[in-house]
Amino acid sequence: MTDANIVATPQPTVALVHGAFADSSGWIGVIDLLRAAGVSAVAVSNPLRGISEDAAYVASALSQIPGPVLAVGHSYGGAIITNAAARAGNVVGLVYVSAFAPDEGEKLIEVEAGSTDSVLNTALIERQYPVGTGGDTVAEFLIDPAKFREVFAADLTEEQAADMAATQRPVSSLGFVQPNGPPAWKTLPSWAVVSTGDLAAGADVVRRMAERAGAVITEADGSHVLFVARPQVVADVVLRALEALARGAAVPASAAV
């Protein structure tokens, strides 16, 4: 076979999925670093309306990205890529950033109950939103702006944390109580960033889930929004994942940065 007969496999597009109490703009620092490294990256909006609806939406968005995709999820976004990646059909790997990686049948409310690191429940405000036209409502949650920095973004400046608190997107209670489906991490190679100071998802829960998924784990000092405070850490993990996928293998390993 000559070189002319060899068809190069395209480099995956990196698709970044945000979690609860956030939006796609949080990925800007990571996107800039990936672009500088010659990597195509896009942020996918997460509706934050529940596991079922969000997974269906994100799976559709991922499937419409041309070529292979490396799916990256932050926090609740990790649960969504876990459910959506297999459905999309073009996802070749997963990166969890301070993220949930649930197994089939698990509910995030039960997972979080097992954390001794998370203090998120002490800072949540509940309100209602309408469903359809029948007058029914469902609870949604947001973080008390006065507690946002302490619980969610301790390594950001007060101004940055205040901006995130003011623009946060509430998450439906359905995201915590709906059971998760078959996890993509059982069939796809995965990587994980564990923020050692994560008081929102809880570093203990994130670490346990990453270990169970067989992810290549990188631990780093930082809050739940490490990807905003230290985007280079996340970009480096994504680049290592792309390198491993190009070689056709992911070698289990752990690192601290």
**SS3 call for 35:** helix
pLDDT at 180: 98
Given a cut of 90, whether residue 27 has pLDDT beyond it is yes
Band of pLDDT at residue 13, cut at 50, 70 and 90: very high
Average pLDDT over residues 137-160: 97
pLDDT at 248: 85
The token pair that represents 242 in the structure block: 């792309």
The residue length of the chain stands at 257
* Residue whose C-alpha is closest to residue 215's, from 77, 89, 95: 95
Given a cut of 60, whether residue 161 has pLDDT beyond it is yes
Given a cut of 90, whether residue 91 has pLDDT beyond it is yes
Given a cut of 50, whether residue 252 has pLDDT beyond it is no
Q: Tokens 């059971």 sit at which residue?
A: 179
Query: What's the rounded Cα separation, in Å, for the pair 188 and 204?
Result: 23
Average pLDDT over residues 214-238: 98
Given a cut of 80, whether residue 189 has pLDDT beyond it is yes
Band of pLDDT at residue 121, cut at 50, 70 and 90: very high
Cβ neighbours of 131 (radius 10 Å): 13
**SS3 call for 156:** coil
* Residue whose C-alpha is closest to residue 85's, from 53, 116, 58: 58
Average pLDDT over residues 25-51: 98
Query: What's the rounded Cα separation, in Å, for the pair 98 and 225?
Result: 8
The token pair that represents 111 in the structure block: 């997972």
pLDDT at 131: 87
pLDDT at 8: 58
pLDDT at 250: 47
Given a cut of 60, whether residue 132 has pLDDT beyond it is yes
Band of pLDDT at residue 152, cut at 50, 70 and 90: very high
Please, which residues have CB within 8 angstroms of residue 201's CB and are 6 or more apart in sequence?
75, 98, 99, 100, 112, 115, 118, 120, 224
- Yes or no: say if 137 and 233 are a contact pair by the CB < 8 Å rule: no
pLDDT at 257: 57
pLDDT-wise least confident of 95-99, 185-189, 244-248, 252-256: 252-256
Q: Supply the mean pLDDT for the chain.
A: 93
Given a cut of 50, whether residue 251 has pLDDT beyond it is no
Average pLDDT over residues 200-205: 97
Q: Domains in the chain and their CATH numbers?
A: 10-256 (3.40.50.1820)
Band of pLDDT at residue 200, cut at 50, 70 and 90: very high
209 φ, ψ (degrees, to nearest 5):
-65, -40
Q: What is the percent of the chain with per-residue pLDDT over 70, rounded to a whole number?
A: 93
Query: What's the rounded Cα separation, in Å, for the pair 164 and 205?
Result: 24
Beta bridge partners of 193: 97, 218
